[in-house]
Each structure stands twice: as C-alpha cells, then as structure tokens.
Structure 1
C-alpha cells in the first residue's frame, strides 16, 4: 500500500512531516473503507505529529477522518464538530479542492442524519467548488448527488 510504504520511507529518512501526511492519508482511506479501528490508530499518529510540528494541513485530514469515524458510529454532534473544524482549516488555507471534499462529506453526514435541507446545502457548495476548480471530478459528484435529488424536491 502506498501510504504504508511512504510512512516507512519517512521514518527511514527521519522526515516526520512525511510520516504525518502519510499516516493521515492512510487513516482516511481506512475509514472510507470501513476499517475504523486501523483508521483510528493511523489518525492518532497523524494527530500527534500534526500537533508536534503545528501543521494545519495534516490536522485537516485528522479532523475529517475523525468525522467520518464518528459519523459511522452515529455520534452526530462529534462528527459535526470535527467537520466544522476541518472546514475552518481549509477555508483559512484557501484550499478549495479540500474544501469541496469536506463539504461533500459534511453533506453525507447530514444525509445519514436525515437533515435533507443541510444535505442539499453542502452538496451544492461541493458541486459549485468542484465546478469553479474545473475538475473532472464534477461529473462523478453530480452522478452521486443525483441519487439524492428525489429527497430535495420538497425542500
């Protein structure tokens, strides 16, 4: 796995920042594939490094991953708080790509929670940001969002 190799290489090179980024990336991928315990281990390591070297980019991934884990556990308020923290970081850093991804995840949380108005709001923000960036990712996002459209008709 790419992230595991990158973590090992970072350790060999004594590059703590690389280990942090790779641990965060691995943790997020594990969380997105329902391997939550392994994700927690990776993301805790990334969090420790991010705090040690004061790296907000890594903290974005940490918060986003914790939010995905909390969403899975139906800890809605914790998940919302982590998503808010992740969005605050990428807004501050003006990282539009990550902001669009964060809003997409935020929308998914609201969907699972049953809040269709908030779901639509965050999905629309995500789609607008992807479009502004001119990314190919817009069409797959639109396809994902179209399955939710029936819920949005009455909002």
Structure 2
C-alpha cells in the first residue's frame, strides 16, 4: 500500500487554482482535513483520498507515491518530527526509534508504532520493510565491494 502524496495533492490543487476551503467544500470534507493531508501530518482515510481525487479530477493513484515505498524515517520527516518527538508519541526511547527506522530492530507492538506514524498497520509494515530492504541492499553492496578489493 502506497502512502498518500500530500505535496502532489497540493500541487494539483494549486494547478487547478482552487483554495483549500473550496476544495474541501467540493469534496465534502473539512478544510483542516485537506490541510493535514497536504502537509503529510496524517494519512487520509480512503474515502477522503477518493473524494480528493474525484474533486481534483485525477485518478486515485495520482495522489499516492510511486516507486519504492517510503521508509519510516522519511514518513517521520514528512510529519516534521524528530526521533525524540516520535519516541514521545509512541512511548519509547529515541534509540528505539532510530533502530526501528534503520530496519535493524523489530517491535512488540506494531499497532502503537503505526498510530505514532499516522499510518495504518499495513502501511507501517510496508515502511518498516522498506527500511530493512535498504539495509540489506547496503550490506550486499559492501560485500560486493569487499570481494572486489580482495579478488
């Protein structure tokens, strides 16, 4: 499952020459919901994403990130939070956030973590997996480089 692309939604709204209040009214949602979705401070509910796409006149998939999924670190940064702030939201220490975002540690309560990042459980798992995949790629790259220098 891809993450909602608030920057893309905002760009489409501006391109259409529509302000937040008018878009919200036309989509049947609150202006605060539109602002939050555009800022990336939360992932909009599916019905909200569909309403925005319909109102903007674009396919739903145009409002979601393409390519490899966002990592937890990227998601947190888009929310404008530090690791320490995210740790406080989840109720863990900052080092736990660092390790989980780097994909080197799992969690015992993924529901709490997903809520902290403003994601569904499926989205959180995808973002966590993206971080693990990056770590695996880096390790594989180092192994290839090391083998190349010793050959």
Q: Give the TM-score normalised by the residue count of structure 1.
A: 0.29
- Higher RCO, 1 vs 2 (CA within 8 Å, ≥6 residues apart): 2
User: Bigger radius of gyration, 1 or 2?
Assistant: 2
Give the structure-2-normalised TM-score: 0.30
* Structure with the higher helix share, 1 or 2: 1
